[in-house]
A and B are shown apart, each in its own frame.
Chain A
Amino acid sequence: METSRVIHAIYTDDDVLMAAVKKVKAERYHIEEIYTPFPVHGLDKAMGLAPTRLAITAFIYGCIGLIVATLMMNFIMIEDWPQDIGGKPSFSYLENMPAFVPIMFELTVFFAAHLMVITFYLRSKIWPFKKAENPDPRTTDDHFLMEIPVTGDEKKLQDLLFETGAVEVNLVNNTH
C-alpha cells in the first residue's frame, strides 16, 4: 500500500461546495473524490466526470432478454412439442406470437433491470460485507468532504480551500 498525503476539506453547504469545486478546478488541482450525504445536482458536471454508460448496457441487456424469451418459447412451444392447446396455432412462432408477448416483455424488463443493477454494483464495487470507505462519518449526515492529493505547495492549497468556504481542512495520510 502506497502512502500518500491528501487534504480533506469539509463543507457544510452544497452550494458552497459547488462553488468550491469550480474554483479548485479553475486552479487546476485534481479532485480525487467528493463525499456527500445526498446527490448534489450538477456536481458530476462541475467535477468533469464522464457521463455514465449504464443506460447503454441496460439497452443491450434488454435485447438479450428479448432474444432469450423468443428462443426459449420458440423451442418449447413450436419446435420441441407443438401441442394443440385450446386451438392456438402452434405451427410457427409468428402465428402464436400474441400469446408470447407478455413473457417477451417481462423478460426484456427483467434482464434489463437486474443485469443493469448488477453492473452498477460491480462497477461501483458494492457488495455485502464490504468495508465502508468513509473518511469521515459526518459526510453521511450533514457534511461534504472534498479530497485532494497533495503534490506541491500544501500551504497554498490550504489557503485556497479556506478561501472557498471550507469549515475544516485536514492533512491526512491516505492509505488506500
Chain B
Amino acid sequence: MYTFSSRLKIASIALMVIGALGIGFGFMSSHKSFQDVETMLSNETAHGGGHALETNAHVVAGDTNHTDNAHDANAHEALSSVEHKVDEHKEHVEHVQHQIANRPWSAIYVAAFFFMMIALGVLAFYALQYASQAGWSPLLLRVMEGITAYLLPGALIVLLIAALSHYIGHNNIFIWMDPEMVNPESDKFDKLIAGKQGWLNVPMFLLRGLIFIGGWSLYRYFSRKFSIAQDQADDNKNFKKNFRISAAFLVFFIYTESIMSWDWIMSVDPHWFSTLFGWYVLSGMLVCGITVIALITIYLKSKGLLPHVNDSHIHDLAKYMFGFSIFWAYLWFSQFMLIWYSNIPEEVTYFVTRIEDYNLPFFGMLILNFIFPILLLMNSEYKRIPWFVVMTGLVILGGHYIDVFNMIMPATVGDRWFIGIPEICSMLFFTGLFLFIVFTALSKAPLTQKRNPYIKESENFHY
C-alpha cells in the first residue's frame, strides 16, 4: 500500500493555492476599459511608428483570425472610405479589448485540457493493455488506474470552463457560443457559423460533453472495480469482464475522442476544419499519458514501492514515448503539409496566424516534441536510465503543453499572447490538483495487482 506522503500533499496544495491566486490575478487584470486599451494601443503605435501601419496590420490579422467575419467585411470597407475610419478605430480597440479579456479564460482552459488529456490518454492506453492482453504491463496497471482517477473531475472542469465562458463570461473561448453570431438580424451575423449551428450550439455541446465524460468514467469505474475484485477472487471472471469492457471502451473511445477534439478544440476556430484533427489530438494525448505513466512509475520505484518493476519496463515505456512522439510528428506534419501545399485560403489561415504570430512556439514545439525525443530516446541503453527518461519526459510534457497552447490561443487571444502569470499559474493550479487526485487514488489500493493472470509474466519481464 502506498501512503500519500505529507510532503507531496503539502506541495500539491501549495501549488493549487499559488495557482489559484495567479488565476484570480489574471482575471482581475484582464478587465480593461475601452479607454485603457485605447491608451495602450496609442502607446504601442508610438513605439511601432505610424498609426496607418498598425491599422493595416490589424486588418490582415482580423482577416486571418476568422473569429469575426462581419467585422472583417467592415474593416475592408473601412479602408476604402474615410468616414469609416472612426468605426474602424473603435472596432480595432474593441477587438483588442476582447483578446485581452480572453487571455485568462484561454490560459485556464489550456491547462485544464492538458491535464484532462493526460488522464484520457492513460485510460486509452490502459484499455489497450487489457484488450491486447499485454504481458509486460500488468505491474503498471495500478499506476495507470491512479492517473485515470483525474479523468472525471478533470474532464468536468474542462466542460465547466467552456460553459462558464458562455454563461458568465463573454464567450471568451468559443466565439460560436455568441447567439448574435447566428442571428440574421444582427450585424455580427456569420453565415458560416450559422450553417454549423446544427452541431455547434451550447445545449448540444454540453450534452455531448456529458455523454463523453459519462462513457469514459463508467468504463474507468467498472474497470477499477473489476481490477480490485480480481485481487480477492479465486477465478478469472473479473479479468475476463475487464477484457470485454476494455474492447468495447476502445470502440467508444475512438469515436468520442474524435468528436471531443472537434468540440473542445477545433471549434475555437469555427471557420476552420481538418479531417485528421482527432487523431492528431489523440497522438499528443497518448504521448503525454505514457510519459506521465513513466514519470510516476519511476517516482514510485525510487521510493521502493514497485519492487518488481525493472529497467525493462522503463525501457518499454520509453519506447512508447519515442514511438508516439514520432507518430505525433507524423500527424502534425501530415496536417500541416497538406494544407501548406494546396494553400486553399479557407484552410490555410489557420497556419498563417500561427506562423506569423506564434512563430517560436509553433516551430519550437516541433523541436521539443520531435527532435529531442527522437535523438534522446534513440539509443536503447538510454531508455533504461531513469533520470534520462525523466528529463526527456519533462521536455515532452512541456512541448505538448505548447502544442495545446498553439491550438487554443491563436483563436482567442491572437497576437496578444504571452506565457505569463495567467498561463503559468493555471498550469501550477492544475499540476497541484492532478498530483493531489492521482496520489490520493494511488493510496487507495495496493500498487500491484495480485491475481492478474499475467502478473507473473510481468514480474519476470525482461527485454
B340: interface (CB < 8 Å)? yes
From 202 to 237 in chain B, residues with beta carbon under 8 angstroms from any chain A beta carbon are none
Question: Bound complex: CA of A87 vs CA of B341, how far in Å?
Answer: 10
Q: How large is the interface on A (under 10, 10 to 19, 20 to 34, 35 or more residues)?
A: under 10
- A98 and B337 contacting across the interface, CB-CB below 8 Å: yes
Q: How many pairs, one residue from A and one from B, have CB atoms within 8 Å of each other in the complex? A: 12
Given A101-B333, A101-B337, is A59 in contact with B378 using a C-beta cutoff of 8 Å? Answer: yes
Looking at chain B's contact residues, the main secondary structure is: helix
From the candidates A55, A59, A87, A101, name the one contacting B343 in the complex (CB within 8 A): A87
Answer whether residue A122 sits at the interface, using C-beta atoms and an 8 A cutoff: no
In the complex, per-residue mask of B318-359: 1 if CB is within 8 Å of any chain A CB, else 0: 000000000000000100110011010000000000000000
A55 to B382, CA, bound (A): 14
- A99–B336 Cα distance when bound, in Å, is 11
Find out whether the CB atom of B341 lies under 8 angstroms from the CB atom of A98: yes
Instruction: Assess the A98–B378 pair: CB atoms within 8 A.
Output: no
Task: For A101, list chain B residues within 8 Å (CB).
Answer: 333, 337
Which of chain B's residues have a CB closer than 8 A to the CB of A99? Answer: 337, 341
- CB contacts (< 8 Å) of B340 on chain A: these are 98
Cα distance A101–B337 when bound, in Å?
Answer: 9
A98 to B336, CA, bound (A): 8
* Bound-complex Cα distance A101 to B340 (A): 13
Chain B residues whose C-beta falls within 8 Å of the C-beta of A55 in the assembled complex:
380
| Cα distance A172–B340 in the bound complex, in angstroms | 70
**Chain B's nearest CB lies how many Å from the CB of A26?**
22
A55 to B336, CA, bound (A): 31
- Cα A55 to Cα B341 with chains together (Å): 35
B residues less than 8 Å from A87 (CB atoms) = 343
Q: B333 contacts which chain A residues (CB < 8 A)?
A: 98, 101
- Interface hub of A87, A98, A101 (most chain B Cβ within 10 A): A98
Give the shortest distance, in Å, between A54 (CB) and chain B (any CB). 12
The answer for the CA separation of A75 and B337 in the assembled complex, in Å, is: 22
Q: Which A-chain residue is minimally distant from B381 (CB atoms)?
A: A51
Distance between B382 CB and nearest chain A CB, rounded to angstroms: 13
Bound CA span A74–B380, Å: 33
Contacts of B341 in A (CB 8 A): 98-99
Give residues 69-98 of A contacting B (CB, 8 Å). Answer: 87, 98
User: What's the Cα separation between A99 and B340 when bound, in Å?
Assistant: 9
Closest Cβ–Cβ distance, residue A105 to chain B (whole Å) = 9
B157 to chain A, nearest CB (A): 37
User: Which residues of B264-294 have CB atoms within 8 Å of chain A's CB atoms?
Assistant: none
Residues of A within 8 A of B343 (CB): 87
- Rounded to whole angstroms, the CA-CA distance of A164 and B298 in the bound complex is 42
**Complex Cα gap A98–B380 (Å):** 30
A98 to B332, CA, bound (A): 12
Closest 5 CB pairs of A and B: A98-B337, A98-B340, A99-B341, A101-B333, A98-B341
Can you list 8 A-B pairs with a CB-CB distance of less than 8 A?
A55-B380, A59-B378, A98-B333, A98-B336, A98-B337, A98-B340, A99-B341, A101-B333
Q: Which residues of A approach B to under 8 Å, CB–CB?
A: 55, 59, 87, 98-99, 101
Q: Which B residues have a C-beta under 8 Å from some C-beta of A? A: 333, 336-337, 340-341, 343, 378, 380
